[in-house]
Amino acid sequence: METIDTDERRDCVRAALCVDVQFSLLNADEYKNMRDEGAVERDRRCLVQPVKQVSSGGEDKSQIGGIVDSNLVDFLIHLEDKLDHMLKLLAKHEEGDDSFFVAKGLDIGGKGMRILCEKQVEPGQLLDTRFRAFRYPVVSLNIVGEVIRAKPVQRGAKTYNEIALEFLDLDQDSKEWIISYVFQMQREAIRSGKR
Digit-coded pLDDT (tens) for 168-193: 988 888 888 899 888 888 888 888 88
Instruction: For residues 135 and 53, give the distance between their C-alpha atoms in angstroms, rounded to a whole number.
Output: 33
| Residue 59 maps to a domain | no
pLDDT at 169: 87
Instruction: For residues 21 and 177, give the distance between their C-alpha atoms in angstroms, rounded to a whole number.
Output: 16
With 0.85 as the threshold, say if the pTM is over it: no
| Residue 162 maps to a domain | yes
| Residue 66 maps to a domain | no
| Residue 56 maps to a domain | no
The structural domain count of the chain equals 1
Higher pLDDT, residue 106 or 46: 106
| Residue 70 maps to a domain | no
Is the pLDDT score of 62 beyond 80? no
| CATH code at position 89 | 2.40.10.220
pLDDT digits (tens, 9 = 90+) for 104-144: 999 999 899 999 999 999 999 999 998 887 766 667 788 99
Q: Which segment of 71-80, 89-98, 118-127, 155-164 scores lowest on mean pLDDT?
A: 89-98
Is the pLDDT score of 42 beyond 50? no
The closest alpha carbon to 142, from 156, 132, 157, 152, belongs to 132
Measured between alpha carbons, how far apart are the two ends of the chain, in Å? 40
What's the domain range around 167?
6-44+81-194
Label residue 52 by pLDDT band (50, 70, 90). Answer: very low
Residue 40 amino acid letter: V
Is the pLDDT score of 153 beyond 80? yes
| Residue 110 maps to a domain | yes
| Residue 60 maps to a domain | no
Residue 9 amino acid letter: R
pLDDT at 138: 67
Q: 3-state SS of 136-157?
A: CCCEEEEEEEEEEEEEEEEECC
| Residue 58 maps to a domain | no
Higher pLDDT, residue 23 or 88: 23
